Copies of this chain bind each other. A is one copy, B any other.
Amino acid sequence: MSQLDAVLDRIDRDLDQSLDRLFALLRIQSVSTDPAYAAQCRAAAEHVAADLKSIGFATEVRPTDGHPVVVGKSEGAKSPANGSLPHVLFYGHYDVQPVDPLELWTAPPFEPRIDTLPDGRKIIVARGACDDKGQAMTFIEACRAFKAVTGALPLPITVMIEGEEECGSKNLFGFVRDNADEFKLDLALVCDTGMWDATTPSITTSLRGLVYEEVKLTCADRDLHSGLFGGAAQNPIRVLSKILAAMHDDQGRVTIPGFYDGVKDLPPTIKADLAGLGLTAEKFLGQVGLKVPAGEKDYMLIEQITTRPTAEINGIIGGYTGEGAKTVLPGKASAKVSFRLVGQQDPKKIREAFRAFVKARLPVDCTVEFANFADSGALQLDFDNPALDKARTALAQEWGKKAVTVGAGGSIPIVGDFKSVLGMDSLMVGFALDDDRVHSPNEKFDLTSFHKGTRSWARILAALAA
Protein backbone atom coordinates (compact mmCIF):
# COMPACT_ATOMS: atom_id res chain seq x y z
CA MET A 1 0.00 0.00 0.00
CA SER A 2 1.44 3.36 -1.03
CA GLN A 3 1.70 6.13 1.49
CA LEU A 4 -1.22 7.97 -0.14
CA ASP A 5 -3.36 4.84 -0.13
CA ALA A 6 -2.65 4.45 3.56
CA VAL A 7 -3.74 8.04 4.14
CA LEU A 8 -6.94 7.52 2.17
CA ASP A 9 -7.63 4.32 4.05
CA ARG A 10 -7.16 6.16 7.32
CA ILE A 11 -9.63 8.84 6.17
CA ASP A 12 -12.21 6.15 5.41
CA ARG A 13 -11.78 4.43 8.73
CA ASP A 14 -11.80 7.73 10.64
CA LEU A 15 -14.97 9.11 9.04
CA ASP A 16 -17.18 8.86 12.14
CA GLN A 17 -14.60 10.64 14.26
CA SER A 18 -14.16 13.24 11.52
CA LEU A 19 -17.89 13.90 11.67
CA ASP A 20 -17.77 14.17 15.45
CA ARG A 21 -15.10 16.84 15.13
CA LEU A 22 -17.05 18.70 12.45
CA PHE A 23 -20.22 18.56 14.58
CA ALA A 24 -18.33 19.98 17.57
CA LEU A 25 -17.36 22.98 15.45
CA LEU A 26 -20.88 23.31 13.98
CA ARG A 27 -22.35 23.54 17.49
CA ILE A 28 -20.51 26.81 18.11
CA GLN A 29 -22.80 29.69 17.18
CA SER A 30 -20.16 31.80 15.46
CA VAL A 31 -22.42 34.33 13.72
CA SER A 32 -20.00 37.11 12.88
CA THR A 33 -22.33 39.93 11.90
CA ASP A 34 -24.17 40.04 15.24
CA PRO A 35 -22.14 41.48 18.15
CA ALA A 36 -24.20 39.30 20.54
CA TYR A 37 -22.26 36.29 19.22
CA ALA A 38 -18.77 37.75 19.71
CA ALA A 39 -17.90 35.28 22.49
CA GLN A 40 -19.04 32.37 20.33
CA CYS A 41 -16.85 33.59 17.48
CA ARG A 42 -13.91 33.72 19.86
CA ALA A 43 -14.80 30.21 21.05
CA ALA A 44 -14.86 28.94 17.46
CA ALA A 45 -11.44 30.47 16.80
CA GLU A 46 -10.00 28.83 19.90
CA HIS A 47 -11.64 25.54 19.02
CA VAL A 48 -10.06 25.56 15.55
CA ALA A 49 -6.69 26.61 16.95
CA ALA A 50 -6.74 23.77 19.49
CA ASP A 51 -7.69 21.30 16.81
CA LEU A 52 -4.84 22.44 14.53
CA LYS A 53 -2.44 22.27 17.48
CA SER A 54 -3.53 18.69 18.11
CA ILE A 55 -2.23 17.71 14.70
CA GLY A 56 1.07 19.47 15.04
CA PHE A 57 0.45 23.00 13.80
CA ALA A 58 2.01 25.85 15.74
CA THR A 59 -1.10 27.93 16.23
CA GLU A 60 -2.02 31.42 17.30
CA VAL A 61 -5.36 33.17 17.69
CA ARG A 62 -4.34 36.54 16.29
CA PRO A 63 -6.33 39.63 17.22
CA THR A 64 -7.82 42.09 14.72
CA ASP A 65 -10.16 45.03 15.24
CA GLY A 66 -12.95 42.49 14.83
CA HIS A 67 -13.02 38.74 15.26
CA PRO A 68 -9.61 37.01 15.52
CA VAL A 69 -7.80 35.11 12.79
CA VAL A 70 -6.52 31.62 13.49
CA VAL A 71 -3.04 31.04 12.04
CA GLY A 72 -1.43 27.62 12.09
CA LYS A 73 2.00 26.75 10.72
CA SER A 74 3.09 23.20 10.10
CA GLU A 75 6.17 21.90 11.89
CA GLY A 76 9.40 22.75 10.19
CA ALA A 77 7.63 24.70 7.48
CA LYS A 78 10.74 26.80 6.99
CA SER A 79 13.25 23.99 7.37
CA PRO A 80 15.79 23.50 4.58
CA ALA A 81 14.48 19.98 4.09
CA ASN A 82 11.35 21.53 2.64
CA GLY A 83 13.32 23.84 0.37
CA SER A 84 12.13 22.38 -2.90
CA LEU A 85 8.51 21.91 -1.88
CA PRO A 86 5.91 24.63 -2.39
CA HIS A 87 4.71 26.29 0.77
CA VAL A 88 0.93 26.63 0.55
CA LEU A 89 -1.49 28.89 2.39
CA PHE A 90 -4.86 27.35 3.12
CA TYR A 91 -7.67 29.88 3.57
CA GLY A 92 -11.07 29.25 5.18
CA HIS A 93 -13.40 30.86 7.66
CA TYR A 94 -14.96 29.76 10.94
CA ASP A 95 -17.79 32.32 10.98
CA VAL A 96 -21.27 31.63 9.64
CA GLN A 97 -24.30 33.53 8.37
CA PRO A 98 -27.17 34.45 10.72
CA VAL A 99 -29.90 31.81 10.90
CA ASP A 100 -33.07 33.85 10.48
CA PRO A 101 -35.75 33.16 9.49
CA LEU A 102 -35.39 30.57 12.21
CA GLU A 103 -38.93 29.25 11.75
CA LEU A 104 -38.00 27.87 8.33
CA TRP A 105 -35.43 25.48 9.80
CA THR A 106 -36.80 21.97 10.26
CA ALA A 107 -34.35 21.40 13.14
CA PRO A 108 -32.26 23.76 15.31
CA PRO A 109 -29.47 25.22 13.11
CA PHE A 110 -26.70 24.66 15.65
CA GLU A 111 -27.63 21.05 16.41
CA PRO A 112 -25.98 19.30 13.47
CA ARG A 113 -27.42 15.99 12.33
CA ILE A 114 -27.22 13.50 9.50
CA ASP A 115 -30.33 13.33 7.37
CA THR A 116 -31.22 11.35 4.26
CA LEU A 117 -32.69 12.93 1.14
CA PRO A 118 -35.48 11.20 -0.82
CA ASP A 119 -32.89 10.24 -3.46
CA GLY A 120 -30.86 8.43 -0.81
CA ARG A 121 -28.09 11.01 -0.43
CA LYS A 122 -26.89 11.41 3.14
CA ILE A 123 -26.45 15.03 4.19
CA ILE A 124 -25.05 16.99 7.12
CA VAL A 125 -27.59 19.64 8.14
CA ALA A 126 -26.57 22.72 10.17
CA ARG A 127 -25.66 26.35 9.73
CA GLY A 128 -22.11 26.28 8.37
CA ALA A 129 -22.32 22.60 7.35
CA CYS A 130 -21.05 23.67 3.95
CA ASP A 131 -20.09 27.38 4.22
CA ASP A 132 -17.39 27.17 5.39
CA LYS A 133 -16.90 24.88 8.40
CA GLY A 134 -17.65 21.73 6.42
CA GLN A 135 -15.44 22.76 3.51
CA ALA A 136 -12.58 23.91 5.77
CA MET A 137 -12.71 20.68 7.74
CA THR A 138 -12.18 18.61 4.57
CA PHE A 139 -8.73 20.17 4.39
CA ILE A 140 -7.96 19.86 8.11
CA GLU A 141 -9.07 16.22 8.18
CA ALA A 142 -6.81 15.47 5.21
CA CYS A 143 -3.91 17.01 7.14
CA ARG A 144 -4.85 14.96 10.21
CA ALA A 145 -4.76 11.72 8.23
CA PHE A 146 -1.33 12.53 6.81
CA LYS A 147 -0.04 13.32 10.27
CA ALA A 148 -1.50 10.11 11.70
CA VAL A 149 -0.14 7.86 8.96
CA THR A 150 3.20 9.49 8.12
CA GLY A 151 3.94 11.55 11.22
CA ALA A 152 4.16 14.72 9.12
CA LEU A 153 2.50 16.77 6.40
CA PRO A 154 3.69 16.18 2.84
CA LEU A 155 4.58 19.84 2.28
CA PRO A 156 4.82 23.03 4.32
CA ILE A 157 1.39 24.46 5.09
CA THR A 158 0.20 27.66 6.70
CA VAL A 159 -3.48 27.70 7.62
CA MET A 160 -5.41 30.96 7.91
CA ILE A 161 -8.98 30.63 9.19
CA GLU A 162 -10.70 33.98 9.58
CA GLY A 163 -13.88 34.98 11.38
CA GLU A 164 -15.36 37.81 9.31
CA GLU A 165 -15.94 36.40 5.84
CA GLU A 166 -19.71 36.64 6.22
CA CYS A 167 -19.49 40.33 7.05
CA GLY A 168 -17.06 41.35 4.33
CA SER A 169 -13.65 40.26 5.69
CA LYS A 170 -13.22 43.87 6.66
CA ASN A 171 -10.27 43.37 9.00
CA LEU A 172 -8.59 40.57 7.07
CA PHE A 173 -7.40 42.80 4.25
CA GLY A 174 -5.36 44.93 6.64
CA PHE A 175 -4.16 41.82 8.48
CA VAL A 176 -2.82 40.33 5.26
CA ARG A 177 -1.20 43.60 4.22
CA ASP A 178 0.41 44.13 7.61
CA ASN A 179 1.81 40.60 7.63
CA ALA A 180 2.63 40.21 3.97
CA ASP A 181 6.03 38.64 4.65
CA GLU A 182 4.40 35.90 6.65
CA PHE A 183 1.65 35.04 4.18
CA LYS A 184 3.30 35.65 0.83
CA LEU A 185 3.81 31.96 0.08
CA ASP A 186 3.86 29.92 -3.11
CA LEU A 187 0.18 29.22 -3.63
CA ALA A 188 -3.10 29.77 -1.81
CA LEU A 189 -5.58 26.92 -1.52
CA VAL A 190 -9.12 28.16 -1.13
CA CYS A 191 -12.01 25.87 -0.28
CA ASP A 192 -15.08 28.09 -0.66
CA THR A 193 -16.32 27.07 -4.12
CA GLY A 194 -18.40 24.28 -5.56
CA MET A 195 -18.51 21.15 -7.70
CA TRP A 196 -19.87 21.38 -11.22
CA ASP A 197 -22.46 18.82 -10.17
CA ALA A 198 -22.66 15.99 -7.62
CA THR A 199 -20.31 13.77 -9.61
CA THR A 200 -18.06 16.26 -11.41
CA PRO A 201 -15.19 17.88 -9.52
CA SER A 202 -14.26 21.38 -10.47
CA ILE A 203 -11.42 23.87 -10.08
CA THR A 204 -12.26 27.55 -10.25
CA THR A 205 -9.51 29.15 -12.27
CA SER A 206 -10.92 32.60 -12.74
CA LEU A 207 -13.04 35.14 -10.95
CA ARG A 208 -14.52 38.03 -12.86
CA GLY A 209 -13.56 41.53 -11.75
CA LEU A 210 -16.03 44.33 -11.22
CA VAL A 211 -16.26 47.98 -12.18
CA TYR A 212 -19.43 49.59 -10.82
CA GLU A 213 -20.37 53.08 -11.89
CA GLU A 214 -23.24 55.43 -11.20
CA VAL A 215 -24.20 57.95 -13.90
CA LYS A 216 -26.27 60.96 -12.92
CA LEU A 217 -27.54 63.20 -15.70
CA THR A 218 -28.92 66.69 -15.20
CA CYS A 219 -30.70 68.73 -17.85
CA ALA A 220 -33.06 71.46 -16.60
CA ASP A 221 -32.36 72.83 -13.13
CA ARG A 222 -35.78 71.63 -11.94
CA ASP A 223 -38.57 69.25 -12.90
CA LEU A 224 -40.71 70.77 -15.66
CA HIS A 225 -44.32 70.42 -16.78
CA SER A 226 -44.37 68.35 -19.93
CA GLY A 227 -47.29 70.37 -21.30
CA LEU A 228 -45.35 73.58 -21.09
CA PHE A 229 -41.81 72.43 -21.89
CA GLY A 230 -42.40 69.08 -23.59
CA GLY A 231 -40.84 69.02 -27.04
CA ALA A 232 -38.26 71.71 -26.37
CA ALA A 233 -36.53 70.90 -23.10
CA GLN A 234 -33.89 68.17 -23.15
CA ASN A 235 -35.16 65.07 -21.34
CA PRO A 236 -32.46 63.31 -19.28
CA ILE A 237 -34.27 59.95 -19.41
CA ARG A 238 -34.21 60.13 -23.19
CA VAL A 239 -30.49 60.96 -23.14
CA LEU A 240 -29.77 58.18 -20.66
CA SER A 241 -31.78 55.64 -22.66
CA LYS A 242 -29.82 56.49 -25.80
CA ILE A 243 -26.52 56.06 -23.98
CA LEU A 244 -27.48 52.78 -22.35
CA ALA A 245 -29.00 51.43 -25.56
CA ALA A 246 -25.74 52.12 -27.39
CA MET A 247 -23.65 50.00 -25.00
CA HIS A 248 -24.42 46.73 -26.81
CA ASP A 249 -24.62 45.94 -30.50
CA ASP A 250 -27.04 43.49 -32.10
CA GLN A 251 -24.60 40.64 -31.50
CA GLY A 252 -24.58 41.26 -27.76
CA ARG A 253 -21.07 42.70 -27.86
CA VAL A 254 -20.18 45.69 -25.71
CA THR A 255 -19.48 48.67 -27.97
CA ILE A 256 -17.38 50.78 -25.62
CA PRO A 257 -14.08 51.41 -27.42
CA GLY A 258 -11.25 49.36 -25.95
CA PHE A 259 -13.58 47.29 -23.79
CA TYR A 260 -12.17 43.97 -25.02
CA ASP A 261 -8.53 44.97 -24.64
CA GLY A 262 -6.89 42.24 -22.56
CA VAL A 263 -9.63 39.69 -23.20
CA LYS A 264 -8.46 36.42 -24.75
CA ASP A 265 -10.42 33.48 -25.98
CA LEU A 266 -10.03 30.35 -23.87
CA PRO A 267 -7.43 27.75 -24.86
CA PRO A 268 -9.16 25.22 -27.16
CA THR A 269 -8.85 22.35 -24.70
CA ILE A 270 -10.42 24.35 -21.88
CA LYS A 271 -13.15 25.50 -24.21
CA ALA A 272 -13.77 21.91 -25.27
CA ASP A 273 -14.02 20.87 -21.63
CA LEU A 274 -16.61 23.58 -21.02
CA ALA A 275 -18.55 22.56 -24.11
CA GLY A 276 -18.51 19.00 -22.83
CA LEU A 277 -20.39 20.07 -19.72
CA GLY A 278 -23.42 20.66 -21.92
CA LEU A 279 -24.84 23.53 -19.92
CA THR A 280 -28.10 24.29 -21.67
CA ALA A 281 -30.15 27.45 -21.60
CA GLU A 282 -33.08 25.30 -20.58
CA LYS A 283 -31.25 24.11 -17.48
CA PHE A 284 -29.54 27.33 -16.48
CA LEU A 285 -32.00 30.02 -17.58
CA GLY A 286 -35.08 27.85 -17.23
CA GLN A 287 -34.81 28.02 -13.44
CA VAL A 288 -35.61 31.76 -13.57
CA GLY A 289 -38.18 31.66 -16.33
CA LEU A 290 -35.91 32.51 -19.28
CA LYS A 291 -35.01 30.64 -22.45
CA VAL A 292 -32.44 32.36 -24.64
CA PRO A 293 -28.93 33.52 -23.68
CA ALA A 294 -28.78 37.30 -24.07
CA GLY A 295 -25.01 37.69 -24.20
CA GLU A 296 -22.46 37.61 -27.00
CA LYS A 297 -23.88 35.41 -29.72
CA ASP A 298 -20.47 33.98 -30.64
CA TYR A 299 -19.94 32.47 -27.22
CA MET A 300 -21.42 29.57 -25.30
CA LEU A 301 -23.76 30.24 -22.42
CA ILE A 302 -21.20 28.97 -19.91
CA GLU A 303 -18.65 31.42 -21.30
CA GLN A 304 -21.15 34.28 -21.14
CA ILE A 305 -21.64 33.75 -17.42
CA THR A 306 -18.09 32.94 -16.38
CA THR A 307 -15.27 33.77 -18.76
CA ARG A 308 -16.62 36.64 -20.88
CA PRO A 309 -16.84 40.26 -19.75
CA THR A 310 -20.22 41.91 -19.44
CA ALA A 311 -21.88 45.30 -19.15
CA GLU A 312 -25.08 45.31 -17.13
CA ILE A 313 -27.49 48.02 -16.08
CA ASN A 314 -28.21 47.32 -12.43
CA GLY A 315 -30.64 50.14 -11.83
CA ILE A 316 -32.27 53.19 -13.36
CA ILE A 317 -34.49 55.93 -12.04
CA GLY A 318 -35.85 59.26 -13.21
CA GLY A 319 -39.01 61.34 -13.22
CA TYR A 320 -42.32 60.11 -11.86
CA THR A 321 -42.38 56.50 -10.72
CA GLY A 322 -45.48 56.38 -8.52
CA GLU A 323 -48.94 55.11 -9.33
CA GLY A 324 -50.83 56.58 -12.26
CA ALA A 325 -49.77 59.54 -14.36
CA LYS A 326 -47.86 62.75 -13.78
CA THR A 327 -46.92 64.89 -16.74
CA VAL A 328 -43.48 65.76 -15.47
CA LEU A 329 -40.46 66.32 -17.64
CA PRO A 330 -37.69 65.53 -15.17
CA GLY A 331 -34.53 67.50 -14.61
CA LYS A 332 -32.49 64.47 -13.57
CA ALA A 333 -32.10 60.77 -14.29
CA SER A 334 -29.53 58.27 -13.15
CA ALA A 335 -28.42 54.70 -13.71
CA LYS A 336 -26.10 52.18 -12.12
CA VAL A 337 -23.95 50.31 -14.60
CA SER A 338 -21.50 47.54 -13.83
CA PHE A 339 -18.93 45.61 -15.78
CA ARG A 340 -17.71 42.10 -15.05
CA LEU A 341 -14.10 41.91 -16.14
CA VAL A 342 -11.98 38.97 -17.26
CA GLY A 343 -8.39 38.30 -18.26
CA GLN A 344 -6.22 41.39 -18.32
CA GLN A 345 -8.97 44.01 -18.62
CA ASP A 346 -7.77 47.05 -16.69
CA PRO A 347 -10.53 48.29 -14.37
CA LYS A 348 -9.29 51.87 -14.47
CA LYS A 349 -9.18 51.89 -18.26
CA ILE A 350 -12.66 50.35 -18.42
CA ARG A 351 -13.98 52.99 -16.06
CA GLU A 352 -12.42 55.79 -18.08
CA ALA A 353 -13.59 54.28 -21.38
CA PHE A 354 -17.14 54.08 -20.06
CA ARG A 355 -17.06 57.67 -18.85
CA ALA A 356 -15.71 58.83 -22.20
CA PHE A 357 -18.44 56.82 -23.95
CA VAL A 358 -21.10 58.61 -21.90
CA LYS A 359 -19.57 62.05 -22.33
CA ALA A 360 -19.30 61.59 -26.10
CA ARG A 361 -23.09 61.07 -26.20
CA LEU A 362 -24.13 64.00 -24.06
CA PRO A 363 -26.10 66.61 -25.94
CA VAL A 364 -25.85 70.29 -25.14
CA ASP A 365 -27.88 71.04 -22.00
CA CYS A 366 -26.97 67.79 -20.29
CA THR A 367 -24.28 67.41 -17.64
CA VAL A 368 -23.07 64.25 -16.00
CA GLU A 369 -21.69 63.23 -12.64
CA PHE A 370 -20.12 59.84 -12.03
CA ALA A 371 -19.57 57.84 -8.88
CA ASN A 372 -17.43 54.72 -8.65
CA PHE A 373 -18.36 51.91 -6.28
CA ALA A 374 -16.06 49.09 -7.37
CA ASP A 375 -12.87 48.90 -9.33
CA SER A 376 -11.33 45.43 -9.19
CA GLY A 377 -9.65 43.45 -11.92
CA ALA A 378 -10.31 39.84 -12.84
CA LEU A 379 -8.31 36.98 -11.40
CA GLN A 380 -7.04 34.26 -13.65
CA LEU A 381 -4.99 31.28 -12.57
CA ASP A 382 -2.48 30.72 -15.35
CA PHE A 383 -3.52 27.61 -17.25
CA ASP A 384 0.20 26.69 -17.31
CA ASN A 385 0.48 26.69 -13.52
CA PRO A 386 1.74 23.17 -12.69
CA ALA A 387 -0.44 23.07 -9.56
CA LEU A 388 -3.49 23.20 -11.76
CA ASP A 389 -2.63 20.07 -13.68
CA LYS A 390 -1.68 18.26 -10.50
CA ALA A 391 -4.96 19.16 -8.85
CA ARG A 392 -6.95 18.15 -11.94
CA THR A 393 -5.28 14.76 -11.99
CA ALA A 394 -5.79 14.25 -8.26
CA LEU A 395 -9.47 15.16 -8.48
CA ALA A 396 -10.00 12.90 -11.49
CA GLN A 397 -8.48 10.00 -9.61
CA GLU A 398 -10.74 10.54 -6.63
CA TRP A 399 -14.00 11.13 -8.52
CA GLY A 400 -13.39 8.88 -11.53
CA LYS A 401 -14.28 11.74 -13.79
CA LYS A 402 -12.34 14.54 -15.44
CA ALA A 403 -12.20 17.68 -13.32
CA VAL A 404 -13.43 20.80 -15.08
CA THR A 405 -11.85 24.21 -14.81
CA VAL A 406 -14.50 26.86 -14.60
CA GLY A 407 -14.71 30.59 -14.09
CA ALA A 408 -16.85 32.06 -11.36
CA GLY A 409 -19.06 34.92 -12.47
CA GLY A 410 -18.69 36.82 -9.20
CA SER A 411 -15.74 37.72 -7.03
CA ILE A 412 -14.17 36.46 -3.75
CA PRO A 413 -12.54 39.59 -2.33
CA ILE A 414 -9.77 37.90 -0.31
CA VAL A 415 -8.59 36.01 -3.39
CA GLY A 416 -8.19 39.36 -5.09
CA ASP A 417 -6.17 40.55 -2.13
CA PHE A 418 -3.89 37.53 -2.21
CA LYS A 419 -3.12 38.43 -5.80
CA SER A 420 -2.89 42.21 -5.54
CA VAL A 421 -1.21 42.51 -2.14
CA LEU A 422 0.83 39.31 -2.00
CA GLY A 423 1.25 38.52 -5.69
CA MET A 424 0.07 34.99 -4.92
CA ASP A 425 -2.21 32.84 -7.08
CA SER A 426 -5.07 30.84 -5.62
CA LEU A 427 -6.15 27.33 -6.45
CA MET A 428 -9.87 27.25 -5.71
CA VAL A 429 -11.27 23.80 -5.08
CA GLY A 430 -14.49 23.14 -3.24
CA PHE A 431 -17.18 20.53 -2.84
CA ALA A 432 -20.36 22.58 -2.42
CA LEU A 433 -23.37 21.63 -4.54
CA ASP A 434 -26.01 23.93 -6.02
CA ASP A 435 -28.63 22.61 -3.59
CA ASP A 436 -26.62 23.27 -0.42
CA ARG A 437 -28.84 26.22 0.63
CA VAL A 438 -25.80 28.24 1.62
CA HIS A 439 -26.93 31.39 3.56
CA SER A 440 -30.47 29.96 3.74
CA PRO A 441 -32.42 27.87 6.24
CA ASN A 442 -31.55 24.15 6.36
CA GLU A 443 -28.05 24.58 4.99
CA LYS A 444 -26.52 21.20 4.22
CA PHE A 445 -23.35 19.53 2.97
CA ASP A 446 -23.46 16.15 1.30
CA LEU A 447 -21.74 13.47 3.32
CA THR A 448 -20.08 12.46 0.03
CA SER A 449 -18.76 16.00 -0.39
CA PHE A 450 -17.29 15.87 3.09
CA HIS A 451 -15.79 12.40 2.77
CA LYS A 452 -14.56 12.51 -0.80
CA GLY A 453 -13.62 16.18 -0.31
CA THR A 454 -11.26 15.12 2.47
CA ARG A 455 -9.85 12.36 0.26
CA SER A 456 -9.50 14.87 -2.59
CA TRP A 457 -7.38 17.22 -0.48
CA ALA A 458 -5.18 14.30 0.57
CA ARG A 459 -4.60 13.50 -3.09
CA ILE A 460 -3.98 17.13 -4.00
CA LEU A 461 -1.49 17.62 -1.16
CA ALA A 462 0.34 14.47 -2.19
CA ALA A 463 0.40 15.64 -5.82
CA LEU A 464 1.67 19.11 -4.94
CA ALA A 465 4.44 17.51 -2.86
CA ALA A 466 5.45 15.15 -5.64
Contact = CB atoms under 8 A, between A and B. Distances in A.
Contact of A292 (B208, B221, B317, B365): B365
A238 interface: yes
A320 interface: yes
Contacts of A296: 231
Interface stretch (A97-105, A305-313, A351-359): A305-313
A18 interface: no
A86 B404 CA distance: 89
A212 interface: yes
A235 B289 contact: no
A228 interface: yes
A128 interface: no
A310 B329 CA distance: 12
Interface in A218-273: 219-222, 224-235, 237-238, 240-242, 244-248
Interface string A309-327: 0101111111111001111
Contacts of A304: 231-232
Nearest to A317: B321
A406 to B, nearest CB: 12
A204 B331 CA distance: 28
Given A316-B333, A321-B317, A285 B222 contact: no
Given A228-B410, A325-B338, A233 B315 contact: no
B314 A326 contact: yes
Contacts of A285: 232-233, 365
Nearest to A214: B325
A237 B292 contact: no
A24 interface: no
A107 interface: no
A320 B336 contact: yes
A372 to B, nearest CB: 9
B288 A229 contact: yes
Given A227-B410, A288-B229, A319 B340 contact: no
Contacts of A234: 290, 292, 294
Given A226-B312, A312-B329, A232 B321 contact: no
A294 B409 contact: no
A117 interface: no
A308 to B, nearest CB: 6
A313 B373 contact: no
Nearest to A281: B232
Contacts of A365: 285, 290-292, 294
A34 to B, nearest CB: 21
A56 interface: no
A319 B336 contact: yes
Contacts of A226: 310, 312, 314, 338, 340
Contacts of A305: 228-232
B317 A222 contact: no
A301 interface: yes
A323 to B, nearest CB: 9
Contact of A319 (B292, B308, B310, B313): B313
A340 B230 contact: yes
A334 B220 CA distance: 23
A134 interface: no
Interface centre among A224, A226, A230, A335 (most CB of B within 10 A): A230
Interface centre among A290, A321, A326, A329 (most CB of B within 10 A): A290
A149 to B, nearest CB: 40
Contacts of A228: 305, 409-410
Contacts of A289: 220-222
Contacts of A373: 324-325
A293 interface: yes
Contacts of A363: 292, 294
20 contacts: A212-B325, A220-B289, A227-B340, A227-B410, A228-B305, A231-B295, A232-B284, A234-B290, A234-B292, A244-B245, A292-B364, A312-B329, A315-B318, A315-B319, A315-B320, A316-B319, A316-B333, A317-B317, A317-B321, A325-B338
